[in-house]
Every structure is written in C-alpha cells, then in structure tokens.
C-alpha cells in the first residue's frame, strides 16, 4: 500500500469492535461537492436526478480504506462490482480522471445501497485520513520558504515549524503528539494513517523511513 501505514495494531487491545462495514470520512472541510465526486456522479447519473440531494454536499468518504467483517466486505465488493459494470456499460459514465471508485463508493453509500455500512467521522475511528490537512499545510509551508528565497526543492525538504529531535512537526498544528505520531481528536494515537504522503518530502522520505515502527523487521534476503 503506497500511502498508508499502521501506528498501532488496527485490531489490537482497545480497538473498536468491527460489526458490518466501516467506511471513513475525510476532513470535515472535504465534501462530495469536490470535483472528484461531483463531476462524475452528476454526469453519470444526471444533475436533476432525484437522488442528487442525497449525496451532494455530504462528508467525503475515502474509498482507499474500508474495514469490515468478511460477509460485509463481500457484500460491499459485490455492490461495487455491480455499479462499476453499470458505469462501464454507459458512455456518459466513462472518465479519464482518477477517482471513479471514490465516486461510486460515495454514491452507493449516500443513496442507501450499503445499508450495512457505518460512516466514521475523521479522526474518530480505526483509520485517520490525513490528506486534506497534509496538502494544505505542506503547500503553505513550501510556499513560505520559496517566498523567503529558497529553491522549491530546498523549501519542500524542511521540517515543519516546531519540529524537535523526536518529531517532524510541532504540536501547535494539533495533528500529532510530541513524538510525531498522528492523533485522534481526543489526543490518543491513531491506529491506521492514510494519505500521509501529502505532508511532503521531509516527512515521507526523510523522517518516516527512519522510525522503527515504519521499518520492515523481516531479514533482507537479497543477494
């Protein structure tokens, strides 16, 4: 998995019980008004469709991470596969952009076709999807450095303000603890992190790979 990792055992002690399907919201500012869902769904299903009000402007559900029981996951995959075949058979549902799966994922849930699924608010469940905050803060920090005369690559490779010898970013951002672990809203460490690469070069390529929890403990058998 390219942009996800475990900070804690997703199903270990203290983890919420898994019943049915769990799907996870992105940051509250990210809704289905975003082009990645609004454009494909509107074009495929029609702007005047009766169900538009059921899905438009709702919390964005990320299709990249879904958790469930075996039976719930099988039902979810069947529903996704069936809807994908509908889109594939209709030319107006063909798109060159990425994210068709996200559109279908949100459409199915908000039109009531996944009654066994529960929508989990951001930073309150097993998965913490951090991409929205990452993109905002990384772009802002990189731009600040460039405005101060740094080259783009140099600016992008700097620790965030407030970083210490233990953390890559200051706690004033209210995203991590003082050791650089992403946290829930209640301050406890999140179990699964998704879209962490959006925080940029220093975090993803320099700080994170040095952390013991992010290293593969299996021996390297390459000759």
Angle between helices 70-88 and 100-110 (to 10 degrees): 110
pLDDT band of residue 217 (cuts 50, 70, 90) is confident
Confidence of residue 99 (pLDDT cuts 50, 70, 90): confident
Q: What percentage of the chain reaches a pLDDT higher than 90?
A: 85
Strands (E), the chain: 4-6, 21-25, 61-68, 117-120, 127-129, 192-194
Is residue 37 over pLDDT 80? Answer: yes
Helix (H) or strand (E) holding 104: helix 100-110
The CA-based dihedral angle spanning residues 11, 17, 18, 23, taken in that order and rounded to the nearest 10 degrees = -90
What six digits make up the tokens of 11?
């199903």
pLDDT of residue 8: 94
pLDDT at 213 over 70: yes
Q: Is the pLDDT of residue 1 over 80?
A: no
Q: Residue 107 in 3-state DSSP? A: helix
| pLDDT over threshold 60, residue 223 | no
C-alpha to C-alpha distance for 53 and 4, rounded to whole angstroms: 32
Average pLDDT of span 50-78: 94
Q: What is the pLDDT of residue 12?
A: 94
**Phi, psi values for residue 129, rounded to 5°:** -90, 110
């Amino acid at each position: 998995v390219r942009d996800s990792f475990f900070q804690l055992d997703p199903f270990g002690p203290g983890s919420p019980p898994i019943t049915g399907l769990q799907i996870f919201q992105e940051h509250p500012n990210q809704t289905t008004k975003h082009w990645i869902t609004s454009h494909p769904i509107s074009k495929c299903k029609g702007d005047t469709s009766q169900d538009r009000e059921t899905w438009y402007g709702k919390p964005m559900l990320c299709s990249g991470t879904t958790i469930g029981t075996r039976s719930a996951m099988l039902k979810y995959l069947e529903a996704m596969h069936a809807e994908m075949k509908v889109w594939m058979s209709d030319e107006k549902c063909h798109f060159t952009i990425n994210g068709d799966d996200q559109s279908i994922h949100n459409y199915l849930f908000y039109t009531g076709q996944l009654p066994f699924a529960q929508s989990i608010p951001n930073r309150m469940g097993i998965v913490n999807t951090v991409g929205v905050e990452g993109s905002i803060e990384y772009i802002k920090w990189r731009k600040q450095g460039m405005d101060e005369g740094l080259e783009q690559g140099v600016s992008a490779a700097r620790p965030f303000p407030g970083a210490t010898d233990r953390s890559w970013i200051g706690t004033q951002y209210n995203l991590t603890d003082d050791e650089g672990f992403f946290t829930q809203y209640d301050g406890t460490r999140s179990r699964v992190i998704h879209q962490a690469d959006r925080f940029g070069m220093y975090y993803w390529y320099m700080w994170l790979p040095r952390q013991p929890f992010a290293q593969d403990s299996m021996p390297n058998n390459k000759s």
